[in-house]
Structure 1
Amino acid sequence: MIVNNLLLKLKNRNIENIKKTQEVLLSMKGKIEVLLDIQAEINIRPSQTACDIILITKFASIEDMNAYLAHPAHLEVAKFIGNVLDTQASVCYEILKEDVI
């Protein structure tokens, strides 16, 4: 399984904007068949240096993740994010069957 974590720090960091961004991210749920799971969680300890949202997406393979990145629903969300984003960071990793206990 491929897990991609994306940390987002927004330009406008008020709670209404953060919640709207969370809703937009979660709008992909059920629209992209290769997307096994999606979470968009709001940081409960905001600070000047902290990120506002973590997006966690899960895929069966790296090929599925690449298909997700090219999917029209993702591209639409990416346009929105591009307009509200200040900075981002990501970590993508693979969970192997033998890693699961």
Structure 2
Amino acid sequence: MVKHIVLMKMKEESKAKTEEFRELLVSMKENIALIKTLEVGVNIKPSPRSFDISIEACFDSEQDLQSYLDHPYHTGPILEFLREVTNGVSVIDYNI
């Protein structure tokens, strides 16, 4: 099994769209069947070094993770919105 974690910083002018972005990210579970588990979190303790929103998703294999990354729902509405509202993204993928 593979875990995929993404941490994102919202642009200051886009912070009002955080909940809209969270809902869009949650919708991946119903649109991308390869996702086994999905958790989306919004930071509750802002600081200069903290991120604003996170994704934690699990996949059966690295191949499933790559298929998710290439999925039209991910490459379309998800990445389009991400590029519009974020100015920093960090990712880690590892076997569990």
Identical aligned pairs, as a percentage?
30
Q: How many residues align?
A: 94
Structure 1 unpaired stretches of 5+: 96-101
Radius of gyration: which is bigger?
Answer: 1
Using structure 2 for the length normalisation, give the TM-score: 0.90
Structure 2 unpaired stretches of 5+: none
Give the aligned partner of residue 59 of structure 1: 59
Using structure 1 for the length normalisation, give the TM-score: 0.86
Give the aligned partner of residue 22 of structure 2: 22
Find the residue that maps to 2:32 and give its secondary structure.
coil
Give the aligned partner of residue 74 of structure 2: 74
Deviation by residue 1:7-62 (Cα, 9 ceiling, x = unmatched): 00010363x32111111111111211111111110111111221001111110000
Find the residue that maps to 2:29 and give its secondary structure.
coil
- From the two aligned structures, give the one with the greater helix fraction: 2
Aligned CA RMSD, in angstroms, stands at 1.2
